[in-house]
Amino acid sequence: MNLFNRLLIIVVDLILLTAASLTLLLTLGLVQPTQLPFPDAQRLAAMIESAPSAVIAQATVAAVIVAFFCLVLLYFELRPTWQRRPKKIAIKRDALGLVTVTLQSVEELASHEASRLEGVMEASARALPDREGLKLFCMLSVSPEARVDQLASQAQARIQEAVQRYLGRNVKEVAVHAQIAPLEERRRVR
Amino acid sequence: MENREAVATRTGQTELTISSQQGKTTIADMVVAKIAGIAAREIEGVRELLPQSVGDRLAGLAQRVTGSEARAQGVAVEVGEREAAVDLKIVVDYGVNIPQVADAVRRNIINRVRAMTGLIVKEVNIEVNDLFFPEDSQATPERPRVQ
Amino acid sequence: MMEMEPQARSTLDPFEIARAVADTVRAVPEIADLGSGRYSEAATYGPSGRVHGVVVREEPTGLLIEIHVVARYNADVDLERIAGRVRERTKEALARHAVSARVDVFIEDIV
């Protein structure tokens, strides 16, 4: 049913998009009506010829708006699910339904836990779920007085324990990278 | 004997109608969604409910034009004659055990909806969208948990 | 208009019936307010304004009254029972004016 609804929306969307594009081509004068397989092309040509320029401009603007709206809608309908990084992970799935947690929450949780350790100035975490389980990658910026390697392993244990406790889900791997420099300069962008 | 019916209205939303000789009683989907929302917020550890995101709304446009979902403050419900399904997005307090809170939310929604409408909730899908850290609230005054 | 059977007719016109019903329903403790329909189409119109949430209809089977309500949230009370109470009170109030009707209750919202 939902599939049918979506197909319907997509078809209507495509029709509207086609109409808007044709209108644009005509009003901008890029295509003559006689070039198109319209039954009444001659009359249409005469109509466009005689229309005041304000009307043409209005039609152009309307067509642009419709086309834009159609494209946005089309994007949201057809947006491929396999290319997106999953935004959430399931922590419980049973007959009563599904309980999910957004990755952003998991990341916040991990970085919050790490930043509560003495000597950690800043923390930023990245959660990477895959088929085998949840992996967490955490960057720390630590104070110059701290022992970097010791703090890193402390953070690793703490993150692992906290996420497992709060999410009730096993964490496969926690990787921690600690540095004395602030995080800003080495922010990983994917 | 009463007669229960879930009918799609002209607006595409469904309503639960219970008929007896005395007259019909209709419960709008919105009411079921609100009960579920209040039931969720009653649970300690649930900070707030979140509305559906813009992406969800656009992607669900077809459903709202032709389908049968009612939304009230972060809760979407589907209502049949005897059964209902509930989807919700929540923010939980930092420090709670999420599966346990989720279980409590499910139980409370099932009980409340059952007690107040007679509907059996077959499915509750919960998305924990964000965590609430107590430090966040230092700038803003504490809000009451239950409104 | 067709000629009516004597018992079904009352001295009240639909607007007066709607006003009496609205007052009765508002007095039910489980009811927060009257609703107004999805497009605020549920109302009865009269000379001095309109009554929201109550529709009075003459049907072939007799008088039909639709009441749209906003219920108060109370986890211990079944909404069907609240509707039953609204129906009961309405029928009692109408009986005082020698009116009998079928009563449909729409629970539109809950607060």
When pLDDT is averaged across residues C79-106 and rounded to a whole number, the result is 93
A8 interfacial to chain B (CB closer than 8 Å): yes
Non-local CB neighbours of B60 within 8 Å, separated by 6+ positions: B52, B69
Residue A91 has pLDDT above 50, yes or no: yes
B19 interfacial to chain A (CB closer than 8 Å): no
Angle between helices A2-27 and A41-50 (to 10 degrees): 60
Residue A37 has pLDDT above 80, yes or no: no
Provide the pLDDT for residue C4. Answer: 46
* Distance of alpha carbon A157 from alpha carbon B15, whole angstroms: 52
Q: What percent of chain A has pLDDT over 70?
A: 92
A98 interfacial to chain B (CB closer than 8 Å): yes
SS3 state at A11: helix
Q: From chain B, pick out residues whose CB is under 8 angstroms from the CB of A110.
A: none
- Rounded to two decimals, the ipTM of the complex is 0.82
Contact B108, B37 (CB under 8 A): no
| B24-48: b (≥16 Cβ within 10 Å) or e | bbbbbbbbbbbbbbbbbbbbebbbb
Tokens of A42: 């001659």
* Distance of alpha carbon A92 from alpha carbon A165, whole angstroms: 14
Using only the alpha carbons of chain B, give its radius of gyration.
17
- Chains A/B: 3 or more C-beta pairs closer than 8 A? yes
Tokens 């923010």 label which residue? B91
Q: Convert the pLDDT of each residue in C30-76 to its tens digit.
A: 999 998 876 667 888 888 888 999 999 888 888 999 999 999 998 88
Mean pLDDT taken over chain A: 85
For an interface test with A, the pick among B69, B127, B133, B136 (most A C-beta atoms closer than 10 Å) comes out as: B127
Provide the pLDDT for residue A82. Answer: 53
- Model confidence at C2, pLDDT cuts 50, 70, 90, reads very low
Tokens 């009170």 label which residue? C89
Provide the pLDDT for residue C46. Answer: 86
Q: What is the DSSP string of chain C?
A: -PPPPTTT--SS-HHHHHHHHHHHHHTSTTEEEE---TTS--EEEETTEEEETEEEEEETTEEEEEEEEEEPP-TTS-HHHHHHHHHHHHHHHHHHTT--EEEEEEEEEE-
Domains of chain C in sequence order: 14-110 (3.30.70.1350)
Provide the pLDDT for residue A54. Answer: 86
Residue C107 has pLDDT above 90, yes or no: yes
Q: Is the dihedral of CA A100, A102, A105, A110 positive or negative?
A: positive
Q: Convert the pLDDT of each residue in A147-186 to its tens digit.
A: 888 899 999 999 999 999 999 888 889 999 988 888 765 4
B130 interfacial to chain A (CB closer than 8 Å): yes
Those residues of chain B that have pLDDT short of 70 are 1-2, 7-14, 52-73, 136-147
Contact B132, A166 (CB under 8 A): no
CA A94 from centroid of its chain's CA atoms: 28
Provide the pLDDT for residue B12. Answer: 46
Residue A116 has pLDDT above 60, yes or no: yes
Question: Residue C10: which of C111, C70, C93 has the closest Cα?
Answer: C93
Non-local CB neighbours of A37 within 8 Å, separated by 6+ positions: none
Tokens of A3: 């599939």
When pLDDT is averaged across residues C81-109 and rounded to a whole number, the result is 93
Question: Residue C12: which of C46, C40, C50, C43 has the closest Cα?
Answer: C46
Residue A144 has pLDDT above 70, yes or no: yes
B65 vs chain A: nearest CA distance in angstroms? 9
User: What are the Cα distances from residue B69, in Å, to A98, A102, B78?
Assistant: 18, 23, 5
Q: Convert the pLDDT of each residue in C3-32 to its tens digit.
A: 444 444 556 788 999 999 999 999 999 999
B2 vs chain A: nearest CA distance in angstroms? 28
Using only the alpha carbons of chain A, give its radius of gyration.
28
Provide the pLDDT for residue A147. Answer: 86
Burial category of A34 from C-beta neighbours within 10 Å (exposed 0-12, middle 13-18, buried 19 and up): exposed
B9 interfacial to chain C (CB closer than 8 Å): yes
Provide the pLDDT for residue A185. Answer: 52
Provide the pLDDT for residue B84. Answer: 93
Provide the pLDDT for residue C6. Answer: 46
Tokens 């409590």 label which residue? B104
Provide the pLDDT for residue B145. Answer: 52
Q: What is the number of CB-based contacts under 8 A between chain A and chain B?
A: 86
Tokens of A173: 């791997």
Largest CA distance in chain B: 58
